[in-house]
Amino acid sequence: MTTYDLTTLGEAQIRLTVPRGDRLATCRELRLTPAGSEANVAGLLAQLDRRTAFASVIPHGDLAQRFIDEYRAVGVDLSYCVRCEGRMALYFMEPGDPPLPAKVVYDRLYTRFREIRPETFDWDGLLDTRVLFVTGITAALTDNTGDTVAWAVREAARRGVKVALDVNYRSLLWTADKARSVLEPLLEHVAILFCSRPDGIKVFGLEGDGPAVNAALRGRYGLDHVVSTDAIHGCYYCGIEGERVYGIEPVRVTDRPGAGDALVGGALHGYLNGNVMEGVNYGLRTSKLALTHYGDLTHLTPSELEIPTTADILR
């Protein structure tokens, strides 16, 4: 029996959000919430009674403490985090209201996390897990973070640990060409891939509707499971369990960031149960829950996985 169900590494961040109806350039107050894609997935799974750990390099100080308190409170093991002097990564967000799109401004240069190397972390501990989860966000930051993600993926595969990868393409962090050149060589080691349709088109040069992009990813890279979303039309599964299209129902959005990570967390809960198709149903529920409250981390109880949804299977 492994110590963990899922371990992951990523940058610890704080989000500073502009109140609705205001602009970053003029607002006088900001809402402060902890953030980080990988931590969000670990945090969601911890609330579903999964054993998870998140590794990072985190500075001392109050902002970092806010991050630590948030994810530790839901049960994520943060003992692999290395503490250092330095600054906390931040991101600012204007939620946007039509016709203004949401806007993100990163303030995450010069963090010590950007200097990580494989030797920074205790991999005997971190790879005592069923799944290693990584994202394109961490791979994008610097050559060091990209190399460390690549090393971790290969080492996990060598040790028989399943690898889950979320492409999570961020155009503010790298070009699509660079993303492809870094992520593509990792795909042979990946068991379950999360890639939105727009990312499949931009990063991997694919074409077609959601199911077509999904099937092309699976076919081209020989993946066991591919889960993708198209924020407007639906969510798609393609893999050894078959193929499925899931409808997405509109919900009132209180706060959008973290909904993608919630979908990934729910789907991985299913993967850990041996049923990704059912996991995507969980993911649709958890991402819906994510939209109802502030913060990148979705707060939920296991019973809320059963909340009614009309995200019926269409095909």
Only segment of 58-66, 69-77, 253-261, 265-273 that touches ligand ELE (CB under 6 A): 253-261
Q: How far is the CB of 84 from ligand ELE (least distance, A)?
A: 19
Nearest Cα to Cα of residue 237 among 189, 193, 285: 193
Taking residues 293 to 312 in sequence order and writing x for each that binds ligand ELE by CB under 6 A, - otherwise, the string is ---x----------------
Only segment of 35-43, 76-84, 124-132, 153-161 that touches ligand ELE (CB under 6 A): 35-43
Taking residues 165 to 204 in sequence order and writing x for each that binds ligand ELE by CB under 6 A, - otherwise, the string is -----x----------------------------------
Burial string for 50-75 (b: 16+ CB within 10 Å, else e) reads bbbbbbbbbbeeebbeebbebbbebb
The number of C-alpha atoms within 13 Å of 153 and in the hemisphere containing its C-beta is 28
Relative to beta strand 82-84, strand 57-59 is parallel
Q: How far is the CB of 296 from ligand ELE (least distance, A)?
A: 4
Selected from 43, 211, 234, 260, the binder of ligand ELE by CB under 6 A is 260
Looking at the Cβ atoms of 101 and 242, the one nearer to ligand ELE is 101
Q: Contact 37/166 with Cβ under 8 angstroms? A: yes
The Cα angle at residue 53 between residues 51 and 56, in degrees rounded to 5: 170
Instruction: Report which residue type is found at 296.
Output: D
Applying CB under 6 A, what is the total number of residues that bind ligand ELE? 13
Is 35 a residue that touches ligand ELE (CB under 6 A)? yes
Selected from 37, 111, 148, 286, the binder of ligand ELE by CB under 6 A is 37
Q: Contact 58/12 with Cβ under 8 angstroms? A: yes
* Helix, strand, coil abundance in the chain, percent, nearest 5: 40, 25, 40
Nearest Cα to Cα of residue 115 among 11, 234, 223: 11
Only segment of 152-160, 182-190, 210-218, 252-260 that touches ligand ELE (CB under 6 A): 252-260
Q: How far is the CB of 49 from ligand ELE (least distance, A)?
A: 22
Q: Footprint of ligand ELE on residues 119-138 (CB under 6 A)?
A: 137
Residue whose Cβ sits closest to ligand ELE: 260
Only segment of 18-26, 30-38, 117-125, 241-249 that touches ligand ELE (CB under 6 A): 30-38
Q: Which of 5, 77, 199, 261 is catalytic?
A: 261
Is 286 a residue that touches ligand ELE (CB under 6 A)? no
Only segment of 20-28, 36-44, 58-66, 71-79 that touches ligand ELE (CB under 6 A): 36-44
Angle between helices 197-204 and 176-183 (to 10 degrees): 90
In angstroms, what CA-CA distances link 124 with 6, 7, 62?
A: 14, 12, 30
Contacts of residue 10, defined as CB under 8 A and 6 or more positions apart, other chains included, come to 36, 37, 38, 39, 54, 56, 135, 137, 138
Burial string for 31-48 (b: 16+ CB within 10 Å, else e) reads eebbbbbbbbbbbbbbbb
Q: Contact 213/228 with Cβ under 8 angstroms? A: yes
Q: How far is the CB of 305 from ligand ELE (least distance, A)?
A: 18
Is 47 a residue that touches ligand ELE (CB under 6 A)? no
Selected from 36, 43, 146, 295, the binder of ligand ELE by CB under 6 A is 36
Structure tokens belonging to residue 269: 């809960």
77 in active site: no
Q: Which residues bind ligand ELE (CB under 6 A)?
A: 13, 35-37, 40, 137, 170, 257-261, 296
Indicate which residues carry an active-site annotation.
261
